Structure 1
Amino acid sequence: MNYTSELKKFATSQALFSGMRVALAVVIPSIILAYFGLLKEYFLFPLATSFVGLTDQIGPYIRRRNTLIFAITNFILVAAIASLLKDYTVFIYLEIIIFGIIYSMFGVYGQRLSVVGGISLVIFSVFVDGHLSGDDILKSILIFSAGCFWFLFIFLVVSKLQPYKLASQLIGENYIQLAEYLRLRAQFYKVGVEAENKISEVISQLSIIKTLQEDTREVLFKTRKIVDEATNQSRMLMLMFLTSIDFYEKLITTNTDFKKLQENFSETGILTDIHDHLLYLAEEVENVGIALQSGNKISPNININIHLEKVYQKYFQLRNANLNETNLEKYLSLRLVMMRIKEMNDEVKIIQKKWSQNEKIEKNISKNFDVLKFLPQEEKINFKIFAQNFSLKSSHFRHAIRLTVAMLLGYAISKFEFLGIGHSYWILITIIAIIRPAYSITKHRNLLRIYGTFAGALLAYLILHFVGNNTVLLTILFSSMILCFSLLKTKYAWAVFFMTIYIFISFNFLNPGNVNVIFKDRLVDTTIAGVLVFLVSLFIFPIWEEALNKPLMEICLKENLNYYKVVMENLLQNTEKAENYKLKRRDAIISLANLSDNFQRMLSDPKNHQERLEYVHQFVNTSHLALGYTASLSQFSDATKLFSKIDFNQWNIKILQQFAEIEEIFKNEEDSPQNSAILEKPKNHLESLLKIRKNEIEENEFFDKRDISKISMLAELNNITELLELLSEVLAEQKRISISYCKLL
């Protein structure tokens, strides 16, 4: 691991920038209040600021601003109600039921409002027993409200001062994740690596890129200042994002039969050279991403053209020394691999050039397609949608019930005097933070919470025991707060670790010398909450991932078919429908990512809810291969004009029939067809061309052609035929998997 590069990525990332903004918004007023000896009295001010800061999710400016205003309204309302009713036990339980159900159901409107609902419940937990609000309720609510509006003010100021910062960081993150994807693809060329063992990692990375691209599209295309392209900077950002999409397309269309490639060339050294060159390309792409995040221009670290020439020299030497009539097909396949690597190399050079250029960019850069079609769909606030989900068929409603039951039990246990719990609201907050709609995610998050809390508590205890200098403690507090807010979305265990540290130090400033009590309460409360969450998630209307497998598999199959149809339509008719093609490709990738995510979550479910796990895994892998081969076919848009030797119509009939048979298996799972009509093998006119070429080689009519920018039509013909054969073989395997899966339903 390159630690310097990792540090640069984190130091320039949107996560750190966001974390620092929240931390500064909390720490600056805290320092001022502490200076005047008012921090303990006005502690609710920075606390409210941190709560509002946590609701600021990635998105366009207007949506973020409106969400913050909506969040503040709910936070003040919940704080006021909880404070007024804190002395009435019956009403507290009633509040838990009402607030628990309503705010948990905010998830029906998407992740943004789901966070608002969760933080609203945390605020209820803070105010429910009056520990922090005290007896002067009006004063406490006013202080809390001021802290809420303080973060809104910070957000408005920073957004005006740096209107392009978020977009630039997100686009940079796109390049960084594409570099990671390229590194994973490079592993396929590593000698001795089984490609099948790396597919899960590749699909997981596709899921990350898919989510990131959706976030970036929303920020870019729904930010008026950027879409209107009023400045060269806004047009540059749009250009770099669209270029990242083009590069992404190049990456997913570099599929071949890696198993055969390993068998044929693992001992020649050429695969190692290809692997190393792809890593060089990944490093350069990552540098572009870091530069975008920081807003700096770049100069290449490595001359990738020189290294590419060395790889090609190795290839030409190998070909000239070993090519004969018996291994022609092998070298034709390798030639296509070399050509695709050159295309990626050229694309990286284009990316570097675009980000380094200073000239003005054309104004209509994003006007050649309908951007609205590519934006993620988000539910609008509509009470009808909310009401429709009040059913046990709704995963949101089942989650709301589980959370509410856990909160009721947690609050009841916190009132047991013999336990001596001093910070009862920590139980409720931990329950809200851990529990999630899916059992698998809840289980994983529960473990991370426990690991982070216990490790953080131990370190915080040692810090407070041995460090007495307030300046040092404040530095540790501030650093821990930044790291906590920065890692909360990506490294939850580490975020909890740093959160525990800054909570301990904060409470020590408020109540010096009370560290033993805080240490005991934090560990006891986390343990109680963890056990409650585990039991409730296991027994109260659980949602098992296996129930989602079949519909997700069917969706994945359908989207792969739709994508294949668009690609084949282009091959057969040479129709240029780039927008439709990209939409179908996006839908296919999203459906594959959803199925893969479901499989990964299923691994955390109890063993008795992991039936057919092997077949789901195989279906995911074959779906990825089918998607990859289809994407690779899309490169040959004028194939029927240039390559009449391939029987595209017969191949299309065969592959469409294979898709239809798999669909039929899922529709008629109880009577899955064991055999189907014998599919006629498409005529292979390529064999005659190969025979001619083999005769030329046998008769020593071989020419040492070293133009790396050109490739023979025979090599492309061979590649197209190979891709069609591979796609058909994968669908045949997927049919077998589907029959076995449906037999066990």
Structure 2
Amino acid sequence: MNYATELKKFASSQSIYMAVRVSLAIVLPSVILAHFGLLKEYFLFPIATSFVGLTDQAGPFKRRRNALILAIICFFIVSLVASSIKNFPLLIYPEIIIFGILFTMIGVYGQRLATVGSLSLVVLGIFIDGHLTGDHIIKSSLIFLAGSLCYLLIFLVVSKIQPYKLAGQMIGENYLELADYLSLKSKFYFENPNFDSLYSQIISKQIAIKNLQEETRETVFKTRKIVNESTTTSRLLMLMFLDSIDLHEKLMTSESDYRKVQENFGATGFLHSLGDYLQKLSEEMSNIGIALQSGSKAKPLRNIDEMLENIFNEYFELRNRKLTSKTLEDFMTLRLILNRITDISDEIKTIYRVFSQDEKMAKSLSTGLDYGKFVTAEEKLKAKVLLSNLSLKSSHFRHAIRITVALVVGYFISKLEFLGIGHSYWVFITIVAILKPAYATTKHRNLLRLYGTIAGALVAYAILYFISNQNVLFTLFLAAMILCFAFLKSRYSWAVFFMTIYIFLAFNILNPGNLNTIFKDRVLDTIIAGVVAFAVSYFILPVWEHTKNLDYMKKSADSNYKYFSAAMAFFKNENLNIQDYKLKRKAAIIDLANLSDNFQRMISDPKNQQKQLELVHQFVITSHLITAYIASFSQYSESSKKYPEIDFEGWDLKISAELVRTDLILNQKNLHQNILQESKLQPDDSVENLLEKRRKELEHNEFFDRRDPNKISHLTELKNLREILELIYDVAKEQRKVVENLEPDIQSTMVKQ
């Protein structure tokens, strides 16, 4: 690991940028208040700033602004209501039930409002007993409102000063994720790769890339300054993001039969050189990502042309020594791998040229795409949407019931006097933080919260025990706060660890000398909340991941079929514009990532809820391969007229038949006999005859040492294209057999052939 590069990634990322912004928004007013001796009286001001800051999720300016305004209104109403009835115990439980259902259900309008709802419940926890508010209801609510408005003001000012900053950081993060993806792929070429582990890591990385691409699409395609304005910066950012999506497809096309490649060439040492070269390309992509995040210009770390030339020279030397009629097809496979790597290298060099900020290039950018079609529309705030989800069939409503039950139980336990809990709101807040719609996510966050809390409490205890210098403690407080917010999205246990430290230090600043009490309460509250959240997620209307498998499998199978049809349309000279193709590519990648993500959560479910785990795993793997092979196939579309030797009509019928059979089984529909016949078609290709002719030429020593890296033989292209079609068919057939073995309750025996 290159620690210098990792530090640069972190220091220039949107997470640290957001963390510093929120932390300074909290600390600066606190320092001013402390200077005038008012911090204890106005402690709710920085707390409100932090809560509103946490609702500020990445996205277009308009949506962020509207979400912040909604959060401020919700927080003020909750604080006022909770403060008004805190002395009426009989009203508190109905209050929890009403707010619990309401603020969880607004999640039907998207993740942004789900976050507002969750933080509104945290605000309820803060005000429910009046521990931090006292008896001055109006004053406390107004102080909280002022702190909320403070963050909104900071957000508006920063957005005005740096309108492109967030988009640049998010696009840069896309390149960093792609760099990690390429680094994983490079490991297939080193000695003794763990194929199963690497495939699992690649699927996980695909999920991360998909989620990030969706967030970035919303930010870039819905930001007026980027889409509509013709500034050099806006056009270049758009170009960089579109290039990152195309680069992702090129990285997917590098899928090969790695086991066979290792078997044929593992002992030659050449594969290690390939792996090393890909690692260096990964570093170049990281360099681009860091430059985008920091807003600087990127320059190549190495001479890519020279490195690529060395790789080709090594390949040509190997070919001269080992090429025979028996190894012909093996070398063709290796040559195609080199061709794909060259495409990736050329893409990276093009991106570096874009980074030169050539104004002519920027002004000539015109994709002709309707960007709005590439963004998932958020649910409009219609009451009908909310009311239609008030049913046990709705996962949102079931989650709302779980949250509400957990909050009621948690609050009841926190009021039991024999437990001696001094900060009952921590039970409330921890339940909101831990309990998520999926049992697997709840279980995972529960453990992370516990580990982070205990470790953070121990470290904070040691800090306060051994350090008395207030300047040092304040510096540690600020550092812990920044790191907490920076890790909140990506590394939850570390976020909780630093959160615990800065909370200990904050309480010490406000009320010194209660270290043992704070330590006991913090750890005890976390354990109680964890037990309640786990029990509720397991016993109260649980949603097990296996119940969603069929829907995700249907969507993935359908989108892969449409993606294949769109790619094949280019070869059949059918009219299909590039936008339709890219929309189908996007859908296939998103549905694949959703399927994979659901499977990974299913692994964390109880053993008795891991239904047909092996079959679902096989379906995920085959879906991943189909998508990757279609991406490889589509790369030849620009020169499709060069391949009359391949019967594309026959291959289209043959592969589509298998993909349709899978879809019919999943949807329990009847199978037509003509589909079976199409699946058994033998396409009328002439590629094998050409290969046989070339083998005979080699047997008669007709070999020429051509060393043009930019030229690949027509036969090699033909052989690879047909091989890709064969791979798509074989994997599609394997997937269909997997689906046929599913239990009768989710597949139809009528179409089982």
Q: TM-score range by the shorter chain?
A: over 0.9
Q: CA deviation at 1:90?
A: 1.0
Aligned to 1:201: 201
Matching of residues 207-606 of structure 1 within 5 Å? 207-363=207-363, 365-573=365-573, 575=575, 577-606=577-606
Contact kept, 8 Å, 1:49 with 1:150, in 2: the verdict is yes
Contact kept, 8 Å, 2:480 with 2:502, in 1: the verdict is yes
Q: Which secondary structure state, in structure 1, belongs to the residue aligned with residue 355 of structure 2?
A: helix
Paired amino acid for 2:327:
N
Paired amino acid for 2:711:
K
Q: CA deviation at 1:490?
A: 0.8
If the length of structure 1 is used for normalisation, what is the TM-score?
A: 0.97
Q: Does 1:625 align with 2:625?
A: yes
CA distance in 1, matches of 2:367, 2:734: 42
Aligned to 1:683: 684
Q: CA deviation at 1:325?
A: 1.4
Contact kept, 8 Å, 2:572 with 2:649, in 1: the verdict is yes
CA distance in 2, matches of 1:462, 1:362: 55
Q: CA deviation at 1:278?
A: 0.6
Q: CA deviation at 1:196?
A: 4.2
Aligned to 1:5: 5
Q: Which secondary structure state, in structure 2, belongs to the residue aligned with residue 619 of structure 1?
A: helix
Paired amino acid for 2:742:
Y
CA distance in 2, matches of 1:244, 1:670: 41
Matching of residues 50-129 of structure 1 within 5 Å? 50-129=50-129
Q: CA deviation at 1:685?
A: 1.3
Aligned to 2:609: 609
Q: CA deviation at 1:672?
A: 14
Flag the 1:313–1:744 CA change in 2: closer, same or farther, 3 A. Answer: farther
Contact kept, 8 Å, 1:574 with 1:637, in 2: the verdict is no
CA distance in 2, matches of 1:645, 1:246: 28
Aligned to 1:710: 711
Q: Which secondary structure state, in structure 2, belongs to the residue aligned with residue 741 of structure 1?
A: coil
Q: Does 1:191 align with 2:191?
A: yes
Contact kept, 8 Å, 1:107 with 1:396, in 2: the verdict is yes
Aligned to 2:26: 26
Contact kept, 8 Å, 2:58 with 2:215, in 1: the verdict is yes
Q: CA deviation at 1:259?
A: 2.4
Paired amino acid for 1:183:
S
Flag the 1:30–1:360 CA change in 2: closer, same or farther, 3 A. Answer: farther
CA distance in 2, matches of 1:609, 1:94: 34
Q: Does 1:726 align with 2:724?
A: no
Q: Does 1:41 align with 2:60?
A: no
Q: 1:183-228: CA deviations, max 9, x gaps?
A: 1121222232254442222122122112212222221222222222
Flag the 1:401–1:354 CA change in 2: closer, same or farther, 3 A. Answer: same
CA distance in 1, matches of 2:745, 2:260: 33
CA distance in 2, matches of 1:715, 1:577: 28
Q: CA deviation at 1:142?
A: 1.4
Q: Which secondary structure state, in structure 2, belongs to the residue aligned with residue 379 of structure 1?
A: coil
Aligned to 2:751: none
Contact kept, 8 Å, 1:559 with 1:587, in 2: the verdict is yes
Paired amino acid for 1:625:
L
Q: 1:125-177: CA deviations, max 9, x gaps?
A: 10010111111111111111111111111111111111111111111111111
CA distance in 2, matches of 1:498, 1:606: 31
Q: CA deviation at 1:110?
A: 0.7
Q: Which secondary structure state, in structure 2, belongs to the residue aligned with residue 396 of structure 1?
A: helix
Paired amino acid for 1:682:
P
Matching of residues 173-188 of structure 1 within 5 Å? 173-188=173-188
CA distance in 2, matches of 1:309, 1:359: 31
Flag the 1:742–1:654 CA change in 2: closer, same or farther, 3 A. Answer: farther
Flag the 1:309–1:354 CA change in 2: closer, same or farther, 3 A. Answer: same
Q: 1:99-128: CA deviations, max 9, x gaps?
A: 000001111011100000000000011001
Aligned to 1:738: 739
Contact kept, 8 Å, 1:229 with 1:363, in 2: the verdict is no
CA distance in 2, matches of 1:139, 1:145: 10
CA distance in 2, matches of 1:502, 1:37: 21
Q: CA deviation at 1:595?
A: 0.6
Contact kept, 8 Å, 2:664 with 2:671, in 1: the verdict is no
Aligned to 2:167: 167
Flag the 1:656–1:387 CA change in 2: closer, same or farther, 3 A. Answer: same
CA distance in 2, matches of 1:200, 1:417: 49
Flag the 1:710–1:152 CA change in 2: closer, same or farther, 3 A. Answer: same
If the length of structure 2 is used for normalisation, what is the TM-score?
A: 0.96
Paired amino acid for 1:468:
S
CA distance in 1, matches of 2:407, 2:4: 44
Flag the 1:274–1:386 CA change in 2: closer, same or farther, 3 A. Answer: same
Q: CA deviation at 1:640?
A: 5.3
Q: Which secondary structure state, in structure 2, belongs to the residue aligned with residue 468 of structure 1?
A: coil
**Unaligned runs of at least 5 residues, structure 2:** 747-753
Q: 1:505-526: CA deviations, max 9, x gaps?
A: 1011111100100000011111
Q: CA deviation at 1:576?
A: 5.2
Which one is further off, 206-215 or 12-21?
206-215
Q: Which secondary structure state, in structure 2, belongs to the residue aligned with residue 445 of structure 1?
A: helix
Q: CA deviation at 1:257?
A: 2.3
Paired amino acid for 1:624:
H
Q: CA deviation at 1:249?
A: 2.2
Contact kept, 8 Å, 2:657 with 2:676, in 1: the verdict is no
Q: CA deviation at 1:496?
A: 0.5
Contact kept, 8 Å, 2:661 with 2:671, in 1: the verdict is no
Aligned to 2:749: none
Q: CA deviation at 1:377?
A: 2.0
CA distance in 2, matches of 1:241, 1:490: 22
Matching of residues 636-647 of structure 1 within 5 Å? 636-637=636-637, 641-647=641-647
Contact kept, 8 Å, 1:666 with 1:742, in 2: the verdict is no
Paired amino acid for 1:428:
F
CA distance in 1, matches of 2:630, 2:285: 25
Q: How many residues align?
A: 744
Contact kept, 8 Å, 2:457 with 2:501, in 1: the verdict is yes
Q: 1:530-553: CA deviations, max 9, x gaps?
A: 000111111000000000011111
CA distance in 2, matches of 1:74, 1:358: 47
Flag the 1:375–1:366 CA change in 2: closer, same or farther, 3 A. Answer: farther
Aligned to 1:694: 695
Contact kept, 8 Å, 1:402 with 1:541, in 2: the verdict is yes
Paired amino acid for 2:703:
F
Contact kept, 8 Å, 2:569 with 2:576, in 1: the verdict is no
RMSD between aligned residues? 1.8
Q: CA deviation at 1:256?
A: 2.6
Q: Which secondary structure state, in structure 1, belongs to the residue aligned with residue 268 of structure 2?
A: coil
Which one is further off, 228-237 or 281-290?
228-237
Contact kept, 8 Å, 1:560 with 1:626, in 2: the verdict is yes
Aligned to 1:653: 653
Q: CA deviation at 1:681?
A: 2.7
Q: Which secondary structure state, in structure 2, belongs to the residue aligned with residue 229 of structure 1?
A: coil
Contact kept, 8 Å, 2:236 with 2:362, in 1: the verdict is no
CA distance in 2, matches of 1:82, 1:139: 14
Deviation above 6 Å: which 4+ runs of structure 1? 669-673
Which one is further off, 733-742 or 16-25?
733-742
Q: CA deviation at 1:694?
A: 1.6
Flag the 1:576–1:660 CA change in 2: closer, same or farther, 3 A. Answer: closer
Q: CA deviation at 1:445?
A: 0.6
Q: CA deviation at 1:286?
A: 0.5
Flag the 1:194–1:476 CA change in 2: closer, same or farther, 3 A. Answer: closer
Paired amino acid for 2:25:
A
**Unaligned runs of at least 5 residues, structure 1:** none
CA distance in 1, matches of 2:243, 2:28: 40
Contact kept, 8 Å, 1:459 with 1:501, in 2: the verdict is yes
CA distance in 1, matches of 2:391, 2:454: 38
Q: CA deviation at 1:574?
A: 5.6
